[in-house]
A and B are shown apart, each in its own frame.
Chain A
């Protein structure tokens, strides 16, 4: 498989995508170029037909190489070193000379992404965000903050499937109206039960589902939303300087997750039109989806993996909006200290107050 290394037209150094200027910038001579300038590299890809993913056609393109699994080995154009990746590696760094490489073949033909949201925030911003994430977390073990290998934050383009559809929904709700009154002997409660039907249309677009088995789906959902208006047409040049994978979960397999979310949203939006009742609960939902579209997009994510006391902790930052997420470990002894310390203090105060009240 061919690999592409983007060379600076001025000094022939390895040129990378710069988040601050949103252009290609050479770290050696400092020259900046529009992404379009390096279009020439993409000419080779033009010969192969582009296909927008739709639910009816299946791509089948990913198996053209005849290899189904295992490692792939590439040769670095700059230093000749061996670069080892797996079948999904789309962009990486040469481990010997550090130059960025893009396996453009991974994105050829039917595997070409429709959209990419370029990185808006650089590595420094990611490291700052990580430090901020630690702030104010009282039960975080102090040692965890120090042991983190911050520099190992990686910028990855994560493959996503974006689903759009026109949903026609028919939802039946069970609603109640409750009335209270009393007379001298009894308190009365009357509950009236209603069956409420709502039908309508609701359109969705760009519902994202993570298309890589290597990235935890829940983690990727936590850094949503992305602003789709900043998405641009795909150029392989954007990947230079970052890591990228192509998808290994098909759109068919991803559609279930999108459907779940679409169904929940439909139920809730329709329920908001049911007014004047004490309670509204959906009983049955029928949704039919029409005009479905699936787009293949690459979204920017800063990732850090860390191990602490034999557990893996993963932090992710939205490379466009800067939203930072990641579960942190808890210092168990500190937890106990706070629990019993506060319990003791409040208990003593309560005892004193009850004694004073007794005295009065």
Chain B
């Protein structure tokens, strides 16, 4: 009897799981490449699209690439933000996704990471991805640039085992060393006495101030970090919900 109930519950959970994943796929239009600037041949486009789809599914993060010729007056920053919001990109409640916009007339590109993807791909990560794909874009090797972009996003979105392992090992060693040294110090009890405080005759202490003289003063200053960085190739954060935007020229 209990076995039947267990089998029923398990199958119910499986159905639920499948609906969730299909649900996620249906939410987006299913397109990963919007090549309005026609930088890619149909073969290259399907190649890039497949890679993006594979990585999007694997990391549950919608990775989309948009290329345009003209932006019609708006700045590329506002374009990328609008595109992401208007098209409701990103999976889940936190709208996790990464968007790459390439504008040929301005020869500029922007990368946007949103939601949980913004935690995993920081401004520094966007800068380093930008540095990696800029040579490909400059050379006109767009398929290579986009595939490289996709792979780099995948690396950042995945659990970076090596980095975390290294940090955990360092923390472990530091704490281990502290504890071991404390235990070692337990063994030592022979110490010199540097003072004779216990031997001061009570009531014999009489200290007179003989003057506090001011000598000179010294003022130093450090520049404050400004919280906003200039636009153009810089990055910005939007208020409410994490989002990172960065990029550059090619």
User: B217 — nearest CB in chain A belongs to which residue?
Assistant: A192
Binary interface encoding of chain A residues 317-351 relative to chain B, with 1 for a CB under 8 A from any of its CBs, else 0: 00000001111111000010011111111111011
Q: Given the complex, which residues of A lie within 8 Å of B214, measured CB to CB? A: 192-194
A354 and B164 in contact, given A187-B222, A204-B199 (Cβ under 8 angstroms): yes
A350 and B168 in contact, given A258-B196, A327-B187 (Cβ under 8 angstroms): yes
Q: Given the complex, which residues of B lie within 8 Å of A345, measured CB to CB? A: 172
User: A140 — nearest CB in chain B belongs to which residue?
Assistant: B187
**Which of B17-25, B62-70, B202-210, B242-250 is the contact stretch?**
B202-210
- Would you call the interface of chain A mostly helix, strand, loop, or mixed? mixed
Interface residue B4 (Cβ < 8 Å from any Cβ of A) = no
Q: Given the complex, which residues of B lie within 8 Å of A338, measured CB to CB? A: 176, 179-180, 183
Interface residue A203 (Cβ < 8 Å from any Cβ of B) = yes
A346 touches B175 (CB 8 A): yes
Using a Cβ–Cβ cut-off of 8 Å, how many residues does chain B contribute to the interface with A?
54
Shortest Cβ gap from B221 to chain A (Å): 4
Bound complex: CA A325 to CA B186 (Å)? 11
Binary interface encoding of chain B residues 70-112 relative to chain A, with 1 for a CB under 8 A from any of its CBs, else 0: 0000000000000000000000000000000000000000000
A218 touches B191 (CB 8 A): yes
> A interface, how many residues as a size bin?
35 or more
Interface residue A269 (Cβ < 8 Å from any Cβ of B) = yes
Q: Given the complex, which residues of A lie within 8 Å of B173, measured CB to CB? A: 343, 347
Shortest Cβ gap from A241 to chain B (Å): 27
Interface residue A290 (Cβ < 8 Å from any Cβ of B) = no
Binary interface encoding of chain B residues 158-183 relative to chain A, with 1 for a CB under 8 A from any of its CBs, else 0: 01000011011101110111011001
User: A358 — nearest CB in chain B belongs to which residue?
Assistant: B159
Interface residue A64 (Cβ < 8 Å from any Cβ of B) = no
A197 touches B209 (CB 8 A): yes
8 A-B pairs with C-beta separation under 8 A: A133-B189, A170-B210, A188-B221, A265-B197, A269-B207, A338-B176, A338-B180, A354-B168
For the complex of A and B, 7 pairs with smallest distance between CB atoms: A347-B172, A203-B204, A343-B176, A200-B207, A203-B201, A197-B210, A350-B168
Q: Identify the B interface with A (CB < 8 A).
A: 120, 159, 164-165, 167-169, 171-173, 175-177, 179-180, 183-184, 186-201, 204-224
